Amino acid sequence: MSMAAVLERLRGNVDKMKSVEYRHEQLRALLRCIDENVDRWTEALRKDLHKSKMECLVMEVNYTRNEVICHLNNLDEWTKPEYVKKELLQISDECYIQKEPLGVVLIIGAWNYPVQLVLCPLIAAISAGNCAIMKPSELSEATAALIEELLPKYVDKDCFAVINGGVKETTELLEQKFDHIMYTGNSNVGKIVMAAAAKHLTPVTLELGGKSPCYVDKDCDVEVAARRIAWGRFVNSGQTCIAPDYVLCPSENQERLLKGLQAALEEYFGKDPKESEDYCRIVNQRHFQRVKTMIEKTKGSIAIGGDSDEKDLYISPTVVKDVQPTDALMEGEIFGPVLPIVTAETADDAVRFINSRDKPLALYAFANDKKVVRDIAQRTSSGSFCGNDTMMQMSLATLPFGGVGPSGMGSYHGKFGFDAFSHKKAVLVKALAMEKVNNLRYPPYTEKKMSWINWLSAKKVKSRGGIFSFLSFTVIMTILAVLIKVLSVMTYLV
């Protein structure tokens, strides 16, 4: 079946998904798909990326499961009309925002977290009432095949489809007219997706990446910072879009940080990480060569690691010190188990350096003084920010996940995902009464009408933080509302 035919089939069933109860059914079915196949999910992830069972569960399976439950627990509330504050002219009207589905959406997943990055957007799409086509990454072959096998057994095949393949299939999909496209991956492909979407004026959510900085202040518990940075950088063998990509720290802290990183890595993966069941592998030969070439080109000093085994797609956790801003390791996102350390003597130096580069997907800062952390958050721009830890901002469904500028556009997770796949429709409903009041806006126009309209609609700048001005406004509005109601009753009686 052609891509156009698959899309047409789904488009013919969009009305099914308008039912909130049916969305609940589909979400519960997806939850069963996760729960009844845990071993198969972990097996596929092991094949694709050599992920340990705990990493599969915590960062993929359970993470996705919790996202489903978040939507199930909140969907009824999210779909209710959102009543808005009214002004005098609309005081007797019904005014609200209605969230409605977009239609049929396309979800293009990524290979580094191939379960989470396909199913979490799908959860949001279902919750918002959309049909969806999913395109898993062909690089995580085992997981992509499992998604294609399992999903049709659980969710409605008339509303959801999985398309596997490579560039050819993705290109053909992008030629179709969708109602929204969500893409997770690198910025080069992100530009292709956005250009294709623009031909149909299709809105997009782009979850991209970039070089996420990590500042370590001179006044900091360096050992604790090292443990948290080592985990964030080297989990999934560094193949995480929000992993700290490089460290900025004062020269006086560099050796202490290196010792802390070395100790943490030995604790996590042993003396030889290659023998650790908990250390992942690079996804394929192309990415192995890409990361290996970066290490070979660096002018910095390799302080930890630097080993590799091409047959095993293994690159050891590698830390490079004395890295210059123009180094090969600082040109683009590393997306591998390599951590450059760049000197920044003060927080101000770090802020200037960060602000001189593209806005990152994530930004991290470690300091004993939380004022320093908050100051860096305030003076920089990034998709997300985490102080005194790494990547943990992703663990909270009430925080959005998304980029800014070159690191992406739009966000999801929890209600933010529901909103990303919803249209917020403005609704105003009037009664067919009180037509004399409406006469003010009808021709012929007069000075008297203009005077009344100005009195009813003109806004005034209110004093900041003045409780009495707020109370007086509330009292006036209440009195006017009562008067209008009384007038309407009298008009009806007459």
Q: Which residues are catalytic?
A: 207, 241
State the Cα angle at 260 between 255 and 263, rounded to 5°.
125
> Exposed, middle or buried: residue 405 (CB in 10 Å: 0-12, 13-18, 19+)?
middle
Other beta carbons within 10 angstroms of residue 226's beta carbon come to 25
Query: Which residue, chain included where needed, has tokens 């406004």?
Result: 473
Q: Which of 382, 403, 386 is nearest to 394 (CA)?
A: 386
Supply the DSSP string of 55-100, one letter for each residue.
Answer: HHIIIIIHHHHHHHHHHHHHHHHHTS-EE----GGGTTSEEEEEEE
- Separation in Å, CA 321 to CA 32, 240, 298, 362: 47, 21, 10, 22
Identify whether the C-beta of residue 115 lies closer than 8 Å to the C-beta of residue 141: no
Query: Which residue, chain included where needed, has tokens 């071993």?
Result: 39
Instruction: Report the helix count and the strand count for the chain, using DSSP H and E.
Output: 18, 20
Residue-level length of the chain: 494
Identify whether the C-beta of residue 419 lies closer than 8 Å to the C-beta of residue 397: no
Identify whether the C-beta of residue 122 lies closer than 8 Å to the C-beta of residue 26: no
Helices (DSSP H) in 158-215: which residue ranges? 167-174, 187-198
Task: Name the 3-class secondary structure at 411.
Answer: strand
Other beta carbons within 10 angstroms of residue 25's beta carbon come to 13
Separation between Cα atoms, residue 126 and residue 157, nearest integer Å: 13
Token pair recorded at residue 215 = 């500042």
Query: Which residue, chain included where needed, has tokens 């969500």?
Result: 182
Q: Enumerate the β-bridge partners of residue 340.
A: 320
Identify whether the C-beta of residue 144 lies closer than 8 Å to the C-beta of residue 81: no
CA of residue 365 relative to chain centroid, distance? 20
Mention every residue, 6+ apart, whose C-beta is less than 8 A from residue 217: 249, 250, 347, 365, 366, 367, 368, 369, 372
Q: Which of 333, 357, 359, 334 is nearest to 344 (CA)?
A: 357
